[in-house]
Amino acid sequence: MTDYTTSELMVSRASKELKNGDVVFVGIGVPSLAVNLAYRLHAPGICMIYESGAVGCVPKRLPISIGDPCLVTGSLAVVPMLDVFNLYLQRGLIDVGFLGGAQVDRYGNINSTVIGDYRKPKVRLPGSGGACEIAALAKKVVITIGNSKRTLPEKVDFITSPGYLRGGRERETLGLKGGPELVITDMGVYRFDSGTREMVLVSIHPGVTLQTIKDNIGWDVRVAQDLTETPPPTAEEIRIIRRELDPQGIFLRSKAG
């Protein structure tokens, strides 16, 4: 079988979350590669939307930023950002949104604002951008992040983008639909318990032990009874990723998310 990098595995796994006809809010890096992989394989009818306002993109090169000119040329529509947020996201037209962050906690809340205190931050991070509205208004959110005690604490320092908050029905109670569906890390894949809404490990990447994961997460994580091994990327997927999507390895030699 083919050798592959962890990032390639994450891209392959993320692409499987996308159905043909999905309207997808795309970010740069693993999400962009995952969507383009799905587009080339099982979801040719997927519609890619970038928060920059490009809709139905067919990038001729790997986009380096969400506002890359290659997203505009040949796209189906370019719309004002106000429309992206009002008419697509808030209107409920976005099926899947991809998010990353510096921290994701037990209930899928995401921090991309500060490490430490907001007023006297240890590390000042970029902030929400469009992440908060994607987390609040997309029908479904897929998260990609590294797997460590630092990146997966029991509680994030700051909730930039709401997941299930303190779990249970708190998110619904606040009037929010959707929510995080899946967390894909460099070690495994997690889903959210339908009752408690906490992260549950559902698959482990080949070569990673359960103990390694338990040693690299900030709480005593629940493990699914039917825990499986994450399927490795196929030779065809690897070929497309390396030959067509990221020939210079711009993203897949850097770290995930």
Q: 171: number of CA atoms within 13 Å, CB side?
A: 25
Report if residue 93 touches another protein, rule: CB under 8 A: yes
Report if residue 224 touches another protein, rule: CB under 8 A: no
Provide, rounded to whole angstroms, the least separation between the CB of residue 86 and another protein: 4
Report if residue 86 touches another protein, rule: CB under 8 A: yes
Strand 23-25 relative to strand 96-99, pairing = parallel
Residues in CB range of 101: below 8 A, 6 or more apart: 110, 111, 112, 131, 143, 145, 160, 161, 257
- 103 φ/ψ angles, rounded to the nearest 5 degrees: -140, 140
Report if residue 113 touches another protein, rule: CB under 8 A: yes
Provide, rounded to whole angstroms, the least separation between the CB of residue 2 and another protein: 27
Active-site pick, 8, 17, 51, 237: 51
Provide, rounded to whole angstroms, the least separation between the CB of residue 143 and another protein: 15
Q: Give the separation between CA 165 and CA 174, rounded to whole angstroms.
A: 10
Report if residue 24 touches another protein, rule: CB under 8 A: no
Report if residue 28 touches another protein, rule: CB under 8 A: yes
Provide, rounded to whole angstroms, the least separation between the CB of residue 195 and another protein: 19
Please give the C-alpha separations between residue 146 and each of 78, 216, 218, in angstroms, as whole numbers.
Answer: 33, 10, 13
Binding segment for another protein (CB under 8 A), chosen from 65-73, 147-155, 187-195, 218-226, is 65-73
Q: Give the separation between CA 257 and CA 7, rounded to whole angstroms.
A: 9
Q: Binder to another protein among 41, 72, 210, 223 (CB under 8 A)?
A: 72
Is 51 annotated in the active site?
Answer: yes
Cβ closest to another protein, residue 166 vs residue 239: 166
Helix (H, G, I), strand (E, B) or coil at 182: strand
Binding segment for another protein (CB under 8 A), chosen from 9-17, 72-80, 140-148, 206-214, is 72-80
Site size with another protein, rule: CB under 8 A = 66
Cβ closest to another protein, residue 49 vs residue 184: 49
Q: Give the other-Cβ count within 10 Å of 143's Cβ.
A: 26
Report if residue 58 touches another protein, rule: CB under 8 A: yes
Q: Give the separation between CA 215 and CA 217, rounded to whole angstroms.
A: 6
Cβ closest to another protein, residue 41 vs residue 70: 70
Both ends of the chain: CA-CA distance in Å? 25
**The token pair that represents 149 in the structure block:** 């005690």
**Ramachandran category for residue 175: left, alpha or beta (phi over 0 → left; psi -120 to 50 → alpha):** left
Question: Residues in the site for another protein, rule: CB under 8 A?
Answer: 23, 28-29, 47, 51-56, 58, 64-70, 72-82, 85-87, 89-93, 109, 113, 118-119, 121, 123-133, 136-137, 158-162, 165, 170-171, 174-176
Catalytic residue ranges: 51
